[in-house]
Amino acid sequence: MRRLAAVVTGVACLLAVACGGGDARSTATNGSGESTADASSAAPSAPGGPRVVVLGTSLTAGLGLDPDSAWPALVQRIADSQGVSVRIEAAGLSGETSAGALRRASWVLKDPVDLVVLEVGANDGLRGVDPDTTRETLVALIDTVRAVQPRALVALVQMEAPPNLGPDYTTTFRGAYPTAAERTGVRLLPFLLDSVAGVAALNQTDGIHPNEAGSRRVAQTMWRALAPLVAEAADRRSGGTSVAAPARIP
């Protein structure tokens, strides 16, 4: 119960100011002129491995951290240390809602990619967006990803809403993710900030974004979930498997 309370508290803090703001140390501009934090920053790795793009918010961009301390860069480091050939790129935009991710997905994913990871929707909860709307936007986003990159694997990261909006809202918001994943046949990954949200020692002084230690914890969580998908993407890339996108459930 203490861990659950810590997570709920952390989610409340996270989404109180959450994935907003910008990081002047890692700012780029996308095709529509929007400012992005650490947009599609490629980590060095051996050529030939699968290309992974993480489409996300400031949590993916590593707001308040050096770019090489953001969780996608740390996942790259873990993969490298284990001899796994993969190229992980972060496309994080501060303050972005799921609707914003939908608008820029085609631009971000214009080049071939093997695995797309969607860390989106936290700011929907901050703004009190109807969870049903978020769910449908997630479905539309996944459909767009598949239209642009039909051979890519797609994974959706679970996100949470602040408890101040009430238990009905938070429960419905939480359920939007497994429902969207089931309807589209994508993989649902764990809550990004599992065991980090609400833990002061793992967050920056704003109590919102993970610090370096928290980012390492996030990277460990994500690598455990992503490693099998990276292996599958590598197998498909080498011609070992050719899998059509799962049928979409209306």
Across all residues in the chain, what is the average pLDDT?
Answer: 84
pLDDT at 19 over 90: no
pLDDT at 161 over 50: yes
Q: What one-character-per-residue DSSP string does 64-104 give?
A: TS-GGGSHHHHHHHHHHHTT---EEEEEE-TT--HHHHHHH
Which residues are identified as catalytic?
58, 206, 209
Nearest partner of 25 among 66, 72, 70, judged by Cα: 66
pTM of the complete model: 0.81
Average pLDDT of the residues in 83-90: 98
| 184 within 8 A of 248, measured Cβ to Cβ | yes
Summarised one tens digit per residue, pLDDT across range 59-82 is: 999 999 999 999 999 999 999 999
CATH topology of domain 2-237: Rossmann fold (3.40.50)
The helix (run of H) or strand (run of E) holding residue 51 is: strand 51-56
The pLDDT confidence band at residue 124, using thresholds 50, 70 and 90, is very high
Average pLDDT of the residues in 128-156: 98
- Please give the Cα distance from 34 to 239 (Å, whole number): 37
| Domain chopping of the chain, boundaries | 2-237
- Please give the Cα distance from 119 to 129 (Å, whole number): 17
